[in-house]
Structure 1
Amino acid sequence: MTRSLPSVLLALLLMTLAPAEAAAQRLRAAGVIDGDTLELEDGRRLRLAGIEAAKPPPNAAPGTRWPLAEAATTALAELALGRNLSPRGEARTDRHGRLVAQLQRDDGLWLQGALLARGLARVHTQPANQPDGRALAREMLAAEDAARAAGLGIWRTRAYGVRPADDPDMVARDRDSFQILEGRVLRVTKAGSEAYLDFGEDWRTDVTVHIGRVAFRAFTQAGIDPLSYEGRRVRVRGWVGLRSGPMIEATHPEQIERLDDSRTPAPKVSIAPPAEPPPSVSDPDDEDAD
């Protein structure tokens, strides 16, 4: 059964995006590769910046159906095909030769926001030196948060569920995958121009977030002292590695959200509502994270 969108999300949907400086660059999609990648009429590929749509895992057997990945691909086709598109901000080229951009339609609909609103993608921002890595991060996080609270799309499955940061064994099972964790930071250790956020008593086995030198500067430039995370409940997203226990490398501030602060409302942006309600998707509990 399709669930109705929460009122907070409807408020986001009904506002209008500010005009984009790059709106003069018109693009047309000839096809959809997957839930976050378009093939343009001129032969180039365009990757939607800042999100990761539901996809089959790399080891998926040929011919295996992945309903959430299919729903994301179908949704992007409905949103983009046959419409004039334009980058919101700068469209840049990544190391794979793809254009990467925040994308909006000729009627002002913001594609990233629409996919997040349907629960068919997660926010996956990049460092500032990557193409459009951190653009519209607050707005994307707000849309993702509303869809998760409503249990839409991927947020109905355990595969995409938020992992407890105080359970290193569970997090370790997700090694080499992109995950979202929540927990209270018990201790922050500063070592020179680096910082380590620990979620357990034993740094040799617990879940840790590492903020390296370059990232440390990015945090301080954003007005964030990494030491201020101590004792705070946070949500962290990133790739899980193993280094004296599960570890996520935080390369930019948008990877860490403080959950116990009184939040300043995110700026209102438009992701104009889809003409049809979001597609209902099955709840395949065994669908792996992409």
Structure 2
Amino acid sequence: MRILWILLLSLSGWAHAEIYQWQDADGRKHFSDRPVADAKVIDEKILDIKPAGHEFFRVKTVYDGDTVVLEDGRRIRLLGINTPEIRHRDKPADAGGYEAKRWLVDKLQDTKVRLEAGAEKTDDYGRMLAHLFTENKEHINLQLVAAGLASVSIFPPNLLYESELVQAQEKAERAKLGIWGRPEYATMPAAGLTEAGHPGWTRLVGKVVDIRNTGKSVYLKFSDMFDARIQSQWLDLFPDVNDYLGKNVEVRGWLNKNKGHWTMLIRHPSSIKRLSE
């Protein structure tokens, strides 16, 4: 429904229509041009509506599994995903990093790509943020996730193709493809986190014992050593966070340390899920 709605909005006559959002009993979000019970009008920007590019470019260099350089010199960071790191500077490679890079090299060596940008044009490193599509209409970002070579890593307001990416990840995870079958990316108990932390992309599980709202962020406390943080401006993307209280939850992301305490920023609902009791 999301893709159909985005296509409709791109047609003439829809540009100034009000957009309504509501959430069903299962927590899924829906969009429409017509009001329904408990629906609210939302900003069109949250839908990340962007026209698709039609010009194709040759890839000069594949830096790693989620970063390439075009022949014109532009560095492209693939949107919505994250692949394990390859060796750089004094940091060793992550498990699966070179596997993702080899896959991308093979996929792009005999084709050109077009770019589909997100709401934000560049990242903090000056790289262009985009989804890549080959001349054969292959969605590279999506295929990396489907093969288990990348995890979903959505940073609002870049929400383009979020549903497709999440569905592909769920399927790869169930099948234990790629990173989902590697012991290096198995879940770890949040209660066992120490001052040493854990490097790189990490999956932690535990019970949410408290919830604290500071206005700018909501903190889900797992222990005295660790909590997960959700920025208040993106709370509408999540189910009611109060439903996490007292529940066993998995969170995925990168740990940040402040005064001996670890925090993980949860940017999108795909990075947090309730576990079966």
Please, what TM-score do these two structures have when normalized by structure 2? 0.69
Letter in 1 for 2:184: A
The C-alpha deviation readout for 1:96-137, integer Å capped at 9, x for no partner, is 222111222222211112111222112222232xxx3x3323
Letter in 2 for 1:96: Y
- Of 95, 119, 122 in structure 1, the residue corresponding to residue 148 of structure 2 is 119
Query: In the alignment, is residue 246 of structure 1 matched against residue 275 of structure 2?
Result: no
Query: In the alignment, is residue 187 of structure 1 matched against residue 210 of structure 2?
Result: yes
Percent of paired sites with the same residue: 28
The answer to which structure, 1 or 2, has the higher relative contact order (CA under 8 A, 6+ apart) is 1
Larger strand share, 1 or 2: 2
Moved more, 73-82 or 232-241: 232-241
- Of 193, 203, 209 in structure 2, the residue corresponding to residue 168 of structure 1 is 193
Aligned counterparts of 2:67 and 2:54: Cα–Cα separation in 1: 21
Determine if contact 1:216/1:226 at 8 Å carries over to the other structure. Answer: no
Tell me the equivalent position of 2:122: 93
In 2 relative to 1, CA 57–234 (structure 1 residues): closer, same or farther, beyond 3 Å?
Answer: farther
Tell me the equivalent position of 2:246: 231
Determine if contact 1:175/1:246 at 8 Å carries over to the other structure. Answer: no
- Cα RMSD of the aligned pairs, angstroms, is 3.0
Q: How far 1:85 moved relative to its partner?
A: 1.6
Aligned counterparts of 2:122 and 2:238: Cα–Cα separation in 1: 29
The C-alpha deviation readout for 1:191-221, integer Å capped at 9, x for no partner, is 4454221224xxx33x21123xxx21210x3
Aligned counterparts of 2:197 and 2:81: Cα–Cα separation in 1: 19
Determine if contact 1:25/1:86 at 8 Å carries over to the other structure. Answer: yes
Aligned counterparts of 1:168 and 1:55: Cα–Cα separation in 2: 22
The C-alpha deviation readout for 1:146-180, integer Å capped at 9, x for no partner, is 223222222232222222233223xx544453322
Provide the secondary structure at the position in 2 that maps to 1:47.
strand
Tell me the equivalent position of 2:106: 78
Aligned counterparts of 1:182 and 1:229: Cα–Cα separation in 2: 12
Query: In the alignment, is residue 69 of structure 1 matched against residue 88 of structure 2?
Result: no
Structure 1 unaligned blocks of 5 or more? 1-17, 262-290
Aligned counterparts of 2:98 and 2:163: Cα–Cα separation in 1: 27
Provide the secondary structure at the position in 1 that maps to 2:151.
strand
Tell me the equivalent position of 1:24: 54
Q: How far 1:67 moved relative to its partner?
A: 7.0
Tell me the equivalent position of 2:34: none
Structure 2 unaligned blocks of 5 or more? 1-6, 11-49
Give the number of aligned pairs. 227
- Of 77, 91, 103 in structure 1, the residue corresponding to residue 132 of structure 2 is 103
